[in-house]
Structure 1
Amino acid sequence: MVKSRPLPSIVEFNKLLSAVAKMKKFDLVISLGEQMQNLGISHNLYTYNIFINCFCRRSQISLALALLGKMMKLGYEPSIVTLSSLLNGYCHGKRISDAVALVDQMVEMGYRPDTITFTTLIHGLFLHNKASEAVALVDRMVQRGCQPNLVTYGVVVNGLCKRGDIDLAFNLLNKMEAAKIEADVVIFNTIIDSLCKYRHVDDALNLFKEMETKGIRPNVVTYSSLISCLCSYGRWSDASQLLSDMIEKKINPNLVTFNALIDAFVKEGKFVEAEKLHDDMIKRSIDPDIFTYNSLINGFCMHDRLDEAKQMFEFMVSKDCFPDLDTYNTLIKGFCKSKRVEDGTELFREMSHRGLVGDTVTYTTLIQGLFHDGDCDNAQKVFKQMVSDGVPPDIMTYSILLDGLCNNGKLEKALEVFDYMQKSEIKLDIYIYTTMIEGMCKAGKVDDGWDLFCSLSLKGVKPNVVTYNTMISGLCSKRLLQEAYALLKK
């Protein structure tokens, strides 16, 4: 284009810049603008508006303002488009007070802010947690003779619902009705989704019915929100009825719909139904995602179908859907629980090769599995690796470690860990103390166990039934029956 002779007009260049800006390639727009100047092509108001918009979209407000100053020096008065771009930049650039001031300046300059201007400012106010100001601005719009449109109301409803102000969102629906503005499916979906998130499932269903009464056709988003919510409440028949209803209305379930149902069925032990839904997904040419696979793998593990879980794992990899930490944690837990610790350890190694670092759950699960398998040395090695990898052990990790060491005859090592825990800021619970008392008693150190038991009140820890039973059993093993009986009476 720049090699054409004669050079294309500024109008043609503006068309190009506008097209590139719509593709969100703002850096390229600025670069092309510099090339235009080097070729001696003067910018006009339309060109400057494009550049100012690009700077604002890149959150470079200072550059946008500098360009505005240059433009005005050249005799170009900013248009409503120029000021709207700046307004948008202020709203997204943490300068909401400047945005409000700009709208007032627009009025002083003789511009009449339109619906787009007000809607942009309302959106900005919500972004900066100024919900009351945003709602008040809707009333001010009407007073200034600027009628809010569907987009304006959509922005307000979305902002209110994100904050959990659902009652205000309902009030706005009534205002819309009074203003003869018919809410669309997007606005209803926003409120229904918010009601579902805040566990007002019956209110969501009532709004769904009201929506249908008003002749507003629900879409896949409406159904997916409701189905997901109903599943989380265990209302399977209602969820299944909605699924049948949407299929009957020729509204195709999407990935979100299937994922909600599959995950819910798995968690409720209805794995046969979950598998059928997965098959239905495939028939409908809907590709499962990581969430789908993780739910199904979890289901296989829960039903001790570990080989099928591993096959599903391998299948997802073959489909270029790469496992995440949840996938590995689920499988490692499944294998360790079924005493197939070697398979769990192999997955742990594979995970590291893929560049995934395990979390506290990963290491704790594997440590527990190794102890249950009698592999005390490797359990300790994994714990050391956990610490060296910078993964913080939690109270559950330490509880499993101490229990494993005590049960494998390594009381001295357990005492080292226990001593470290007491000196650190870790808050020890009764389960930790009970584990150590049991370990001491099993190792024949009943006196030490008794001393620890007697110190619990000083530590502000109350023994439970298991603690008492453990101590009584220890005293009995040493024939200290009088002490055991005295403790039993307590």
Structure 2
Amino acid sequence: MWSIKGYSVLYRMKEAGIYPDTITYNSLIAGATRYCMISRCFDLFEEMLEMSILPDIWSYNTLMHCFFKLRKPDEAYRVFQDILLKNISVHPATFNILINGLCMNGYTENALMLFRSIKRHGFIPQLATYNILIHGLCKSGRGKTAREFLNELVESGHIPNAITYTTVMKCCFRCEQFEEGLKIFAEMRRKGYTYDAFAYCTVASMLLKTGKMNEANEYLGYIITNGFDLDMVSFNTIVNLYCKEGQLDNAYKLLHEAEKKGLESDKYTHTIFIDGLCRTGNFKEAQQHLDYMSMMGFDSNLVALNSFINGLCKAGHLDHALRMFESMDAKDSITYSTMVHSLCNARRFRAASKLLLSCIRGGMRILKSDKRGVIDGLRGSGYSQEAKKIQSKIRLAKILQN
């Protein structure tokens, strides 16, 4: 455990006659923050003060970041106010943490207002600050404002980097502004920022989703023939594209190339193959990937199992899917929704209603379409009284949750 290992360093330092300072405690606080251990952060702060070691701006920055990570923006802002009250010199990173934290917690408008305010008071934003805001704006669906910020960034004398362009390009694709996204990509290429495979993978993925198979393959071919140094994320992206297009042989060849380069397949790789194999009806091989994941002890196979169950249901192997469902140690709302929807399609409304109630009682959210499918199905099958009982039980389960 981090806390035990970190603390043991302090004891060893004292035994060696070395006394911890602000940097020592800042490192420990940063470690606690990484694991969102807010109580440990406070303990370390108190210990610093007891030892007459004054926290500096980085101590407060780290604590503020921890609060934002824990989705506690009000407490994070109080830390910032504490910095001002104690007349501690603010570092540009402090404002970046504030802006990023506000965006991360859904307060993009507040982040914009803060940005404008501190800029009026003499703060000179760096490229990192613009990138944070652009990312926040894109995440909140404000692509137009993000592109305006891209222009403002250039006008302020900064040079956008690959992160800036890729963020805006992905935002354009998400908002289905494909031509605009491709223009951003063309500008990236023109300025020499497409030096890795990530941007090409993003474009290829968009083209595949919009049904432009030939164009997607051209980009994939460019990635492979130009010898880009691919990481596992890039390999997984390309494998996913091949699998969705039904080119499983090419996907396996690519995986073989990745392994030759010393890269190891991860749970996402196997999940992608399971989904692709299920699409082609090859459940035997898909099961082999599941067995391999269990044998290798991957931390979670839930997404892979959900893909497998979804494939079985779509292929009409509902009883097989139910057996898999029952054998699962952990399930989420997607697992339940897949089974409820499939049981309704098979007109097995009573079984679907039991799963629906089990899902709600487990504290998971249900889709309105699943609830409507079960209720309407029971009524249409002549089980009106049962439909009423299910509605009452659903309402009671929701009340008990609250």
Query: Which band: TM-score by shorter chain?
Result: 0.7 to 0.9
> Using the alignment, how far apart are the partners of 1:279 and 1:387 within structure 2?
37
Counterpart selection for 1:349 from 300, 319, 323: 323
> 1:214: how far off?
2.0
| 2:176 counterpart residue number | 199
1:297 aligns with 2:277: yes
Counterpart selection for 2:289 from 316, 326, 337: 316
| 2:400 counterpart residue number | none
Relative CO higher for 1 or 2, CA cutoff 8 Å, sep ≥ 6? 2
Residue aligned with 2:201, SS: helix
1:250 aligns with 2:223: no
The verdict on how the C-alpha distance between 1:226 and 1:394 changes in structure 2, with shifts beyond 3 A counting, is same
> 1:328: how far off?
2.0
> Using the alignment, how far apart are the partners of 1:238 and 1:275 within structure 2?
19
1:98-139 per-residue CA deviation (whole Å, 9 max, x = no partner) reads 133144336x34x2x232222222222323433234334445
1:26-45 per-residue CA deviation (whole Å, 9 max, x = no partner) reads 44213443565688764334
Residue aligned with 1:160, SS: helix
1:420 aligns with 2:400: no
Q: Which amino acid aligns with 1:240?
A: N
1:295-333 per-residue CA deviation (whole Å, 9 max, x = no partner) reads 3234224xxxxxxx2222233135326550331232144
Q: Which amino acid aligns with 2:38?
A: S
Aligned residues, how many?
A: 355
Aligned residues: CA RMSD: 3.7
1:59 aligns with 2:48: no
1:410-441 per-residue CA deviation (whole Å, 9 max, x = no partner) reads xxxx54x2332256649xxxxxxxxxxxxxxx
Q: Is the 8 A contact 1:114 1:146 kept in 2?
A: no
Q: Which amino acid aligns with 2:386?
A: Y
The verdict on how the C-alpha distance between 1:41 and 1:194 changes in structure 2, with shifts beyond 3 A counting, is same
> 1:213: how far off?
1.7
> 1:283: how far off?
4.1
> Using the alignment, how far apart are the partners of 1:218 and 1:141 within structure 2?
35
> Using the alignment, how far apart are the partners of 2:321 and 2:69 within structure 1?
45
> 1:140: how far off?
5.3
1:365-386 per-residue CA deviation (whole Å, 9 max, x = no partner) reads 46865x7xxxxxxx69x82994
Q: Which amino acid aligns with 1:70?
A: E
> Using the alignment, how far apart are the partners of 2:339 and 2:286 within structure 1?
17
Q: Is the 8 A contact 1:52 1:82 kept in 2?
A: yes
> 1:360: how far off?
4.9
The verdict on how the C-alpha distance between 1:216 and 1:83 changes in structure 2, with shifts beyond 3 A counting, is same
Residue aligned with 1:159, SS: helix
1:174-205 per-residue CA deviation (whole Å, 9 max, x = no partner) reads 23222332111112111111221221111110
* Bigger Rg over Cα: 1
Q: For 1:207-246, list aligned pairs within 5 A.
A: 207-246=184-223
Q: Which amino acid aligns with 1:362?
A: M
Counterpart selection for 1:282 from 237, 255, 272: 255
Counterpart selection for 1:325 from 284, 300, 306: 306
> Using the alignment, how far apart are the partners of 2:194 and 2:2 within structure 1?
37
Gaps of 5+ in 1: 1-23, 266-270, 302-308, 337-343, 372-378, 404-413, 427-490
> 1:256: how far off?
1.5
1:189 aligns with 2:180: no
1:176 aligns with 2:153: yes
Counterpart selection for 2:58 from 66, 78, 81: 81
> Using the alignment, how far apart are the partners of 2:278 and 2:10 within structure 1?
55
> 1:206: how far off?
0.8
> 1:51: how far off?
4.3
> Using the alignment, how far apart are the partners of 1:195 and 1:202 within structure 2?
8
TM-score under structure 2 normalisation? 0.73
Q: Is the 8 A contact 2:64 2:77 kept in 1?
A: no
The verdict on how the C-alpha distance between 1:349 and 1:156 changes in structure 2, with shifts beyond 3 A counting, is same
Q: Which amino acid aligns with 1:96?
A: A
Q: Which amino acid aligns with 1:319?
A: Y
Q: Which amino acid aligns with 1:315?
A: Q
> Using the alignment, how far apart are the partners of 2:208 and 2:132 within structure 1?
29
Counterpart selection for 1:96 from 54, 71, 76: 76
| 1:383 counterpart residue number | 351
% identical equivalent positions: 16
| 2:315 counterpart residue number | 334
Q: Is the 8 A contact 2:378 2:384 kept in 1?
A: no
1:328-373 per-residue CA deviation (whole Å, 9 max, x = no partner) reads 232144144xxxxxxx53453354234366625436646865x7xx
Q: Is the 8 A contact 2:45 2:55 kept in 1?
A: no
Q: Is the 8 A contact 1:345 1:366 kept in 2?
A: no
Gaps of 5+ in 2: 260-264, 295-300, 361-369, 393-402
Q: Is the 8 A contact 2:340 2:355 kept in 1?
A: no
Residue aligned with 1:84, SS: helix
Q: Which amino acid aligns with 1:232?
A: K
> Using the alignment, how far apart are the partners of 2:223 and 2:312 within structure 1?
34
| Higher mean C-alpha displacement, 117-126 vs 135-144 | 135-144
> Using the alignment, how far apart are the partners of 1:388 and 1:149 within structure 2?
51
1:56-85 per-residue CA deviation (whole Å, 9 max, x = no partner) reads 5522354344234324xx3x4443433433
| 1:165 counterpart residue number | 142
